[in-house]
Amino acid sequence: MNRSSLPKNEVLELIHSTLKHDKSYKNGNVISTMCTYPDTFAQQLFSTFIDRNIGDANLFPGVVELENEVISSLGELLHNPDAYGNIVTGGTEANFLALWAYRELSGKHTIIVPETAHFSLYKSANILNLKTKTVKVTEQRQMDIAETEKAIDDDTFCIVGIAGTTELGVIDPISELSALCLKYNLYLHIDAAFGGFVIPFMKDLGYDIIDFDFSLPGVSSITIDPHKMGLCPIPAGGILFRNEELTKKIKWSVSYLSGGHTAQTTFVSSRSGAAVIAVWGMLNYLGYEGYNDIIKRCMHVTDYLVAELDKFDELYPIQHPTMNIVGVASNKSNIVLIAEAMRDKGWAISLFTEHLRIVLRQSVTKKVINKFIHDIKEVLTCIQAKI
């Protein structure tokens, strides 16, 4: 490294200047992402306890205690207060851990996932040397149960169902998957990285939404990410297993650490205790009611966006939203051109094959939607004028 020392203010200036074109989750124009600007209290907790490495568990018994409480609170939310798990780096690590645990327990190498599965499952399968059978989704974009049953063979050890797909927030028919897994003695992992912090509250708010959690006897584990709808800073993913026994083959014993002997069931060894503390802080600061209010507001804005889209001849929601994710499609203009033109206007837009994905998070207010509608009208006029 051939850099000479600079004063802090110059370093800061250089950083600011390099980052000047970066977007911020704080701003309304980032309407595409599942992550959120962390609550200021969470930020404060994160920076106060920045030094805690929960990988060396016995050095930080207090953080371990908070992590246990976080897991049992999330377990309660998912109908299993006795769940075992960890706060990990994100949904990717959470999904990986489930597949790793079950591959080791079963000694088999084939998993079944819906075609809507997040790419983290394919990455994990690649690392774990697994064969992935991808099952088609129905017209409602849910995993097809008959196809899933057909895909099961002697080498299959796990089915993955999604509760809140990345593309549209759809929930797979988890109770049917649960029955299938019990029938064939398979593990069932649920990827509720996004939906985990949404579905329980929607149920409470009276939405007709299907079961997805440990209340279904076949569900073995659930990914639920505080750094998405939980308002916590990255890195905060969550993995919950039905019981600790399921992790016995991925439990690594370490004896030399500063705090003494410990055992880890995560992939990363050093792990952010600050992230765990921020999650504990947010769960206790917002409480059930706080999260419920957030979901209520997000669903209100979701309904508003759908109503606004209904006023267009050309644009339409690709399907009635299951949760606070809306797919916007066009029956006239090329969706890629729409996405590019919206990006040129400063919007951060997720583009899927046939639709733009809008994630109605806390910072996406009605005002933001009004601006989005205004801008997309201009874009459509422009595109049509050029044709």
Q: Which stretch binds ligand 0PR (CB under 6 A): 54-62, 171-179, 191-199, 289-297?
A: 191-199
Q: Cβ of residue 186: shortest distance to ligand 0PR, in angstroms?
A: 20
- The footprint of ligand 0PR on this chain (CB under 6 A) covers a number of residues equal to 16
Q: Which stretch binds ligand 0PR (CB under 6 A): 68-76, 138-146, 187-195, 267-275?
A: 187-195
Q: Cβ of residue 92: shortest distance to ligand 0PR, in angstroms?
A: 3
Q: Which stretch binds ligand 0PR (CB under 6 A): 89-97, 126-134, 201-209, 300-308?
A: 89-97
The answer to whether 175 and 183 are in contact (CB under 8 A) is no
Among 304, 305, 303, 286, smallest CA distance to 294 is for: 286
Under the criterion CB under 6 A, does residue 241 sit at the interface with ligand 0PR? no
Under the criterion CB under 6 A, does residue 92 sit at the interface with ligand 0PR? yes
The smaller minimum CB distance to ligand 0PR, of residues 198 and 380, is found at 198
Task: Quote the crossing angle between the two packed helices 119-127 and 91-106, to the nearest 10°.
Answer: 40
Q: Which of residues 220-239 bind ligand 0PR (CB under 6 A)?
A: 225, 237
The answer to whether 190 and 174 are in contact (CB under 8 A) is yes
The smaller minimum CB distance to ligand 0PR, of residues 45 and 160, is found at 160
Report DSSP letters for 83-115, one per residue.
Answer: -EEEEES-HHHHHHHHHHHHHHHH---EEEEET
Please pick, from the candidates 101, 112, 177, 193, the single residue that binds ligand 0PR as defined by CB under 6 A.
Answer: 193
Under the criterion CB under 6 A, does residue 35 sit at the interface with ligand 0PR? yes
Please pick, from the candidates 120, 124, 142, 221, the single residue that binds ligand 0PR as defined by CB under 6 A.
Answer: 120
| Cα distance between residue 347 and residue 244, in whole Å | 44
The answer to whether 172 and 163 are in contact (CB under 8 A) is yes
Under the criterion CB under 6 A, does residue 38 sit at the interface with ligand 0PR? no
Under the criterion CB under 6 A, does residue 172 sit at the interface with ligand 0PR? no
Among left, alpha and beta (phi > 0; psi -120 to 50; other), residue 141 is: left
Q: Cβ of residue 168: shortest distance to ligand 0PR, in angstroms?
A: 11
Q: What number of other Cβ atoms are within 10 A of residue 131's Cβ?
A: 13
Under the criterion CB under 6 A, does residue 266 sit at the interface with ligand 0PR? no
Q: Which stretch binds ligand 0PR (CB under 6 A): 43-51, 85-93, 260-268, 269-277?
A: 85-93
Q: Which residues have a Cβ under 8 Å from the Cβ of 375 and sit 6 or more positions away?
A: 342, 345, 347
| Half-sphere exposure of residue 102: CA atoms within 13 angstroms, side-chain side | 29
The smaller minimum CB distance to ligand 0PR, of residues 124 and 262, is found at 124
Under the criterion CB under 6 A, does residue 324 sit at the interface with ligand 0PR? no
The answer to whether 225 and 238 are in contact (CB under 8 A) is yes
Please pick, from the candidates 38, 75, 85, 90, the single residue that binds ligand 0PR as defined by CB under 6 A.
Answer: 90
Q: What number of other Cβ atoms are within 10 A of residue 191's Cβ?
A: 31
Under the criterion CB under 6 A, does residue 74 sit at the interface with ligand 0PR? no
| Cα distance between residue 147 and residue 267, in whole Å | 32
E strand or H helix at 46: helix 40-48
Q: Cβ of residue 376: shortest distance to ligand 0PR, in angstroms?
A: 20
Under the criterion CB under 6 A, does residue 91 sit at the interface with ligand 0PR? yes
**Residue 49, SS3?**
coil
**Residue 164, SS3?**
coil
Q: Cβ of residue 165: shortest distance to ligand 0PR, in angstroms?
A: 6
Under the criterion CB under 6 A, does residue 166 sit at the interface with ligand 0PR? yes
- The values of phi and psi at residue 160, to 5°, are -110, 125
Instruction: Retrieve residue 265's tokens.
Output: 């069931």
Q: Cβ of residue 31: shortest distance to ligand 0PR, in angstroms?
A: 11
Q: Which stretch binds ligand 0PR (CB under 6 A): 38-46, 50-58, 87-95, 172-180?
A: 87-95
Contact residues toward ligand 0PR (CB under 6 A) are 33-35, 90-92, 95, 118, 120, 162, 166, 191, 193-194, 225, 237
